[in-house]
A and B are shown apart, each in its own frame.
Chain A
Amino acid sequence: MKHFHFQQIQKSFSNEIGGQVSVIDNLTFSTAEGEITSIIGPSGCGKTTFLRIIAGFEESYSGTVTIEDGNTKATALPVGTVGYIPQEPSLFPWYTVEENVAFSLRLRNVSKVSLQQRVEELLRMVGLEAYRTYYPKELSGGMKQKVTICRALAVPPPFGLLLLDEPFSALDSQTRNALQQDLLSIHTSQHLTLIFVTHNIDEAVFISDQVVVLSQLPARVKNIVTIPLPHPRDRTSPEFNAIRKDLLNLGEFMH
């Protein structure tokens, strides 16, 4: 069983006048293989910066990212070893659905047959096998996000870790709920560990095993709330709402 530890992560950016702005201050938490962790916090508090650190994009930060697997330990995850879905829309508009999903497979010269098979399998999983030849501009917001997830998983991330940065925030609430369901089933079928940044407390309670609540800039862990409810969860049940209320109180600054 693997564990991912993020310990004392600190990061600051230099501002225009040559000073340093601390964005993340001593951020520490852990997650185990197969878990879903949500990160919530006010906007501009450093959530995206934190995901970019785990994904390997930021070079100057302090603290450690460790994967512990039994007795072996590895530190830092180089770019390309973690699945990453950025906050902005990121499907390549010049490629079709199929070409987008196959992007990482093509880079690795996977044979045509197994490439086709993998793309087919992933698109089937999200119900988009009929849209292989469509361009992103021809898809709805929800479909685009599904394809983006498929693309991130085409070559399974080596440690099974997938980072998602507010992936559903631009969707209407019905589509959003449907995609949360889809994400849960993808999480199970693809054996993933998820770190999921969101603004939406309902979403965090619906999908996660633990919710990391961050403070305002610079981000520190304000609280970690574990959610022991079994899946499928009922958004209207008293237990669900009790946790929601706790989080709302913790994150009262958020809205």
Chain B
Amino acid sequence: MNGPQPASRLLGYVTAGSLERGLEVTLAPETPFDDPAMVGVGYYVAIESGSLAYLGMVTDVRLASGNGIAGLPAATASPFVRKALSGAGVYGQLAVRPYVVIAARGAREAVARARTIPGHFAPVRQASRAEIAQVFGEEGDDRIYVGTPVDLEDAPICLSYDALLERSIGVFGRTGTGKSFLTRLALAELLVRGKAQERAARRAVGLIFDLHGDYGWEGQADPLSGSVKPPGLKQLFPQDVSVFALDPNAGPAKRSNAEELHIWPGEIEPEDLDASREALRLTEQAVMAAFELQRRYGARWVLRVLEEAQRDETDDGESATSPLNALAHDLNFQPGTITNLLRVLRLLSRAAYWRAERPAHGTAKDAILGRLQSGQWVIVDFNARLVPREAHYVFLANFLTRRIYDQWRRKAEEEPGDSPAYPPHLVVAVEEAHNFLSRQLAGLTAFGQIARELRKYNVTLLVIDQRPSDIDPEVMSQIATRFVLKLDNERDVEAVLEGQEDRGGLKAIVNRLNTQREAVIVGHAVPVPVVARVRMWDQAEQRKIVERRRRTVGAAGATADDLYRR
């Protein structure tokens, strides 16, 4: 039943190993292990042993030699002598990790984690397309095609829609590796698959914090290659996506018909400042003062504080009798505390998104919540001149996410899971995630909370980051599916592989990734780690996705509703 398949070549035989440390495979003398078409780190191999077939991954390639051979003057020997020696006295070896057992061909469900290892001299072959398909399935309504194994260009790697949403996702890689491309691709596919879901609770809806204007309209072109600008989600799915922009009149935002993103200070709570404390450079004392001020002044405390401060200033300086200073005195705050808080509130109030008056048509926050609830995807476009940019980004993202998450949690707790009013499955995508999920902040921000509690409330976090080592390890451990592109830094590699089986082997593979479009995918959504050439995001692929979206509308009448609800 596991007969050899014509397309895949024999590489060698298992000669030693353990489940814990992996297998040692001695290459057949005919196997050219310096030929990248045959052998390489990260390649899949199939190993037959008895009635089982294993799918494993090559994690190292070695040269070995028998007793004393290395000391012989073989280098100066004739080609014949060297040829005769290779495969007998000197030979190539692979380190192979047997991850899963793929049983009888055709039985897709029968993929199980390997609990034993193949026997001595079990033949090791290149994995075939059929074997890859047994593990990763075929593209379909519930499976998303993300790329191909580096060594097998015609074998699609497909991830399950459900598995992807079940746990948090991370996309990690240094700048220019293709994080945004991969994320765009993943989000587009999630959107399309989500629309095809029958149950409301299974429909994905995305909230995307777009720091660089990558996701709405045309993404940024690669300055080096000058390649074509890829279209954003709003371009591909104009009916399904709303864009809220800090500067709705900036080029791409305008083209995507963006609505204005603003904040009415009446909605700001001290918790919002707390969650963004680091980025805003607020002291703990200042946050405590904010809580105290809210207690005294009520919901509109921010406005009141700013007014008082204004008055103090026009009253010629900080008179000891001003209510703010009196308060500071009463509560034994350090003199700088109020100044610190005021500095931050003024910084926010000077930003273009600040609306001292409650907007007549409701606040952006309410609008975004409404859209998401109705199944619209929302891109929050931060592409605007803000100083300091990071502070505003962190503050706004936290502000929105906290509200949205609260609402989701409430709804999820109130509604039964099969109710049509159950909130859709929220995917919160956030770039430069270490801003929100650093060791100091993860406990405070809504993102940290989502990462820890998401399974209960139908929310998935998608973090995109260049510096995963800055992310709180506890949060990292919740990011169950990881797309790891090339990383610069040893610490980052350690951080993304923390908790994975065979870290040593995977590390060697991550360190050898190409600088673009190559990713190691590990974790929840993949039964075995995979080294993937990321699917090309070009016009042809985009068209396929849009086409699938169109079919969804045609097929299910109910979903046509979603499409034109706005």
Does A pair with B?
no
Q: Which residues of A contact B (CB under 8 A)?
A: none
Q: Which residues of B contact A (CB under 8 A)?
A: none
